A and B are shown apart, each in its own frame.
Chain A
């Protein structure tokens, strides 16, 4: 998966140390503290003087993906990242972003505040992979600011959740921009709180958030999805949970707020269990009960 690209990553950080920065023509890659010093204009996007994290500024079209990897590798490490990605007008980009724990029981903390600025006519496919240890605390808070006519396809995938995950994602959509958000989370022995907010600020902007949440044993998942339609715009929330164990709990809270009479926003939410019929069907094909459940869950999480 994304990890294969670590050595050629544009930015690779382990614990607090920057292990690799790889720049190509048209892309500036710096640590956030360095960017704070170097670019006055960038300061307004950082809420505070950053201590760690990455700064990536895409000024020219490139035909390969931007790759970042942030790892925790030391027990009880506490990361506090401020990340900034700026993509200039008219550029099409793809990002593969991995955040992970090198080992299972580090009891580490990973806090990340990120701003992603898509200027006018930008198209970004942002693939965000998380893989954590069972005792970690993880709190990413990302804001995407979408310029006019820009497009964002954001996929967050977490099949190995930490003990505690607080995931916040906010989208500000300007005129004619569109965002599609996919959150794919496999809860297991974890407390997960997801908050995704889409502000449809510009005329003809669009936003869709799709959540696929699997609740395995000892997982508590709460997902709050909101769309605020402030202009003539369209939005939709599609929240689905699959409860797989008696000790799991999923709570889905979709909310749609309309502040413009020409806006159209809708939502759907459902939580179900694995169908006995599907399970039996696959078992009659020679799959064990566990294999059949895994196959059904992977299908459910496949957006």
Chain B
């Protein structure tokens, strides 16, 4: 499937003085869907935030490449403009700022990139179709329900016209109906447009809707397993837990 879109090499990251990522190697190609599974505190969110350039995390080793360009030291906005987007697991509330206003700002910025323009005005009919007018007029993430947050996140990343979207626990806190709806939007607006997708998930619920080409397992700051059959991985994790992954002969390598 060609060259990798995102390539992470031996990435070591510290947060609050503690080493969280201990040499992560990862890559994803254009149009690929991958999943990243792992127990709590294994470093999944750190990997995502570091990839997006969150200054909270300090890179102490390794490099991140996007379309063969070294972006290890790029600020978050530059990464976003290159086409990397992330849907947050717990996005912060921004008082006084309407969601519609934020979507317009994002769209304005996205238009200045070299990425192809959205197929239709995203902050307009797109957003109201998925969200309803009332949510658009509310302050960003202020008193949003879990489901509202996820849909608002999804819409923002679509507005960015991304090449790669990382979903951090999109399936947590969503009932089956909302999860189906979210997956439908992801398929229509991203998968069908060959946008690469990395799904960070605990439960694996989203994987039944968006079948990944590769499923990765992260334990203790390292990706210890990569497997094409996500069902196999889920089955083993369900049965034995993540501790078994370390020793699992079936999946390792």
Which of B54, B88, B96 gathers most chain A CB within 10 Å?
B96
- Which of A151-159, A255-263, A277-285 touches B? A277-285
B84 and chain A: residue at smallest CB distance: A284
Nearest CB in chain B to that of A278: its residue: B92
Q: Hey, which chain A residues are within 8 Å of B75, CB to CB?
A: 283, 289
Q: Assuming the A-B contacts A283-B75, A285-B160, A289-B77, are A299 and B94 also in contact, with contact meaning beta carbons closer than 8 angstroms in the complex?
A: yes
**Which chain A residue shows the least CB distance to B159?**
A285
Give, as a whole number of angstroms, the nearest-CB distance from A256 to chain B: 24
Do the beta carbons of A295 and B105 come within 8 Å of each other? yes
Within 8 Å by CB of A298, from B56, B85, B97, B139, lies B97
Please determine whether A281 and B97 come into contact, CB atoms closer than 8 angstroms: no
- Complex-state Cα separation, A301 to B97, whole angstroms: 10
Of chain A, the residue at the smallest CB distance from B55 is A280
Supposing A287-B77, A299-B139 touch, asked if A281 and B56 sit within 8 A by C-beta, the answer is: no
A275 within 8 A of B: yes
Q: Describe A's contact surface by its main secondary structure.
A: helix
Number of chain B residues whose Cβ lies closer than 8 Å to a Cβ of chain A:
30
Q: Does B204 contact A (CB under 8 A)?
A: no
Contact partner, A285, options B54, B139, B156, Cβ 8 Å: B156
Contact A284–B92 (Cβ < 8 Å): no
Complex CA gap A281/B106 in Å reads 12
In the complex, whether B28 has a CB less than 8 A from a CB of chain A is no
Residues of B within 8 A of A (CB): 52-56, 75-77, 79-81, 85-86, 88, 91-92, 94-97, 101-102, 105-106, 109-110, 113, 139, 156, 160
Interface CB pairs A-B, < 8 A, 22: A280-B55, A281-B91, A281-B94, A282-B94, A283-B80, A284-B53, A284-B77, A284-B86, A285-B80, A285-B102, A285-B106, A286-B81, A287-B105, A289-B75, A291-B109, A295-B97, A295-B102, A299-B94, A299-B95, A299-B96, A300-B96, A303-B96
Chain A positions near chain B (C-beta within 8 angstroms): 275-278, 280-289, 291, 295-296, 298-303
Known contacts A282-B102, A283-B75, A299-B139; 16 additional CB pairs below 8 A are: A281-B91, A284-B54, A284-B76, A284-B77, A284-B80, A285-B80, A285-B102, A285-B160, A286-B81, A286-B106, A287-B77, A291-B109, A295-B97, A296-B94, A298-B97, A301-B96
